[in-house]
Amino acid sequence: MALLAKYHVPGLYVEDRSIPVPLDWRGKTPGQWVCGSQEGVDKSGRTLQLFYRVVCAPEHVHDDLPLLVFFQGGPGGAGPRPISPSSDGWIEEAVRHFRVILPDQRGTGRSSRVDSHVMVRFGSAQDQEAYLKRFLADSIVRDFEHLRLTQFAGARWVTLGQSYGGFLTLAYLSLFAQGVVASFTTGGIPHVPADAQELYEHTFPRMERKSLQYYERYPQDVERVGMVARMLTDDVRPVKLTNGDRLTVERLQTLGATFGMKPSFEWVHWVFDSAFVDGDGSASVRSALSDQFLESVESYSSSNPLYWPLQEAIYADGGDEGELARPLDWAAQRVRDGLPQFGTDRCPLLFTGEAVFPWMFEQESQLRPYRQAVELLMQDVRFPKIYDAAQLARNEVPLQAAVYFDDMYVPSELQLDTLSRIGNSHAWVTNEFEHDGVHGPQVFARLFKQALDRGDLEELF
């Protein structure tokens, strides 16, 4: 494995490493592919770099520890950048027992990153779409299995998947269960079979409840949010963000994408607290919107460059022949169109959640280069198979899932339905935490103890 650097951050020893992987895994076998070999040559001749960090407690640098690999949330999420063991709560517990592997999923972080600069290099929207389809779960889990087989001598490891990392966990257990000792997931069991429209039919009502709970906590924000929304409809004096994008009511509503985390109500409240330049900050039609407010909105409403383009595609699970019964066809927009309470002229203005809409690729400069490719993705009917329901039913790998009862992004009822059909799975259902609970000190520690108490980690400890 290519060692790029080794160093310490407070409380952690870190190694930066990377290996090549093929852009297209079709016709290739993890563990056998060699860059430059006959099997390593595809039609495009393209390879990617898979970057990963190996992290442990300083006192365990020379110890023979079992391995835990972290499947980051997303889509398009890079691995954690810890600044101490407690900066991402699960790491502090994990490094007591494991050598921890933190991959950057392909296209993110330092793993052959994909952004608008990459998209404009392609000659057609068809080429862009074909490229984006190589950054979905079927390719990601093959990267991870190749990493395990070639860089860790095929040692079986423990997996921890947060949010979309739980989707990757089920894909991994469908294909490479032989490489896993035990799996943990936190807020990340997808419904199998996957259906984007079904998901949004569950999450939009949650967003309505979350929005109303926000206004119950901060009733003064009904007027402030409404005033800002009215200002944004002025075509004579359009409001521009610092990057030049016009701020619209639709984009303002996406601030609700944070409402499944803690303390997101407070984050959004303080954003609107600084909205107006003049007077005491109360809603005033005579006041301009502050630079601080516009900078905050731009920051909170922007995301990494693979997150929105692939948001619905992660639910596109092909059959044995790679065919879907129907295209995605902007599922979130179709569900929203049937819910007039989410209109941009309503008061109180409801916020939207983790949902991608066509207007994003018109209004947001960072997303415009993806527009035509995403439109093709939305109409495509050929995607790789992600989950093997029969294999999951006979699964023998212990799977411990933290299911957050009020989860805004991955509905608990859908998670529990899937878990009821996965062999050797166990659910801990709690309303004590929101979707980001794993980043505190308690969730992983509890899952780990439960696995120990059941004997699921007996071969390691």
Using an 8 Å Cβ cutoff, are 401 and 425 in contact? yes
What is the reported pLDDT for 137?
Answer: 97
Query: In this structure, is the dihedral angle defined by the CA atoms of residues 73, 355, 412 and 316, taken in order, positive or negative?
Result: negative
**How many helices (H) does the chain have, and how many strands (E)?**
16, 9
Confidence band for 41, pLDDT divided at 50, 70 and 90: very low
Q: Where in the chain is the domain with CATH 3.40.50.1820?
A: 2-194+386-454
Orientation of helix 371-379 relative to helix 125-132, angle to 10°: 70
Cα gap 23→112, rounded to integer Å? 10
Given the candidates 3.40.50.80, 3.40.50.1820, 3.40.50.300, 3.40.50.720, the CATH classification of the domain at 2-194+386-454 is: 3.40.50.1820
The answer on pLDDT for 38 being more than 80 is no
Mean pLDDT lowest among 150-159, 252-261, 318-327, 394-403? 318-327
Q: Given 3-state DSSP classes, what are the helix, strand and coil percentages for the chain, each rounded to the nearest 5? A: 40, 15, 45
What is the reported pLDDT for 304?
Answer: 81
Using an 8 Å Cβ cutoff, are 413 and 189 in contact? no
The answer on pLDDT for 370 being more than 80 is yes
Task: Pick the closest to residue 192 from 154, 140, 274, 137 (CA basis).
Answer: 137
Cα gap 54→67, rounded to integer Å? 10
Per the document, the length of the chain is 461
Tell me which amino acid residue 380 is.
Answer: D
What is the reported pLDDT for 322?
Answer: 56
Residue 55 has phi, psi (to 5 degrees) of: -125, 140
Residue with tokens 């359009």: 238
Cα gap 324→418, rounded to integer Å? 20
